[in-house]
Every structure is written in C-alpha cells, then in structure tokens.
C-alpha cells in the first residue's frame, strides 16, 4: 500500500481560519459549521495542514499503518511525486518498517 504526496502541495501551510472564511464566502452557514462541531468533527484539527509535504506523508503513513482494519503485515510506503516530471521519491520504506515491527 502506498501514500503518495506531491511537491508543491496546497495543504502545506493550510490555515483553518482561511478555509472556513472561504467556505462562509461560498455560502456555508455558521449553523452548518456549528452542526459539524456538535457532531464531534474537530474542524480546527482536520483543516490544519503541515509545514512540509514530507511531514504530511509521514503522518498519513502512520495513520494508515495503525488503522485497525489494515493487517500488520501489509507494508505501507510513503512517496512524494514531482508533478512536473513524475519522478517518485521514496520517503518511507514500508518493508523496512515491517522488519522493525
């Protein structure tokens, strides 16, 4: 299994406040945002980006690797693609992580 991020990712530096402001401008009401919050959705956490694309891929690999429905013997790789060239950089070797498990 592979998690693939990309260089130049828009999630880098994502600001929850800016996303919610844009959502409001596009017609999402404060009532809808309150309903999401009351339903247990932590928008401040969910709409937070990362400082580096590498961090985002590493965190996503951890989430997938620790998901209860993913068997522990499935390697989870983390890669980053260069959108212009298609070149893939290996960031997390899922096989190496299996050996350490």
> Tens digits of per-residue pLDDT, 21-69?
999 999 999 999 999 999 998 888 778 777 788 988 998 999 999 999 9
pLDDT at 78 > cutoff 60: yes
Domain interval for residue 23: 2-99
User: Model pTM?
Assistant: 0.68
What percent of the chain has a predicted confidence (pLDDT) above 90?
61
Contacts of 90 (CB under 8 A, 6+ apart): 77, 78, 79
The CATH number assigned to the domain holding 88 equals 3.40.1050.10
The predicted structure's pLDDT at residue 100: 59
What whole-number distance in Å separates Cα of residue 67 and Cα of residue 28?
Answer: 31
Domain count, the chain: 1
């Amino acid at each position: 299994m592979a998690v693939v991020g990309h260089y130049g990712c828009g999630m880098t530096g994502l600001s929850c406040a800016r996303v919610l402001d844009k959502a409001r401008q596009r017609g999402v009401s404060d009532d809808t945002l309150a309903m999401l919050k009351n339903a247990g959705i932590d928008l401040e956490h969910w709409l937070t980006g990362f400082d580096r694309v590498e961090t985002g891929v590493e965190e996503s690999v951890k989430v997938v690797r620790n998901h209860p429905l993913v068997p522990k013997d499935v390697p989870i790789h983390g890669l980053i693609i260069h959108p212009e060239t298609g070149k893939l950089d290996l960031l997390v070797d899922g096989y190496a992580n299996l050996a350490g498990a």
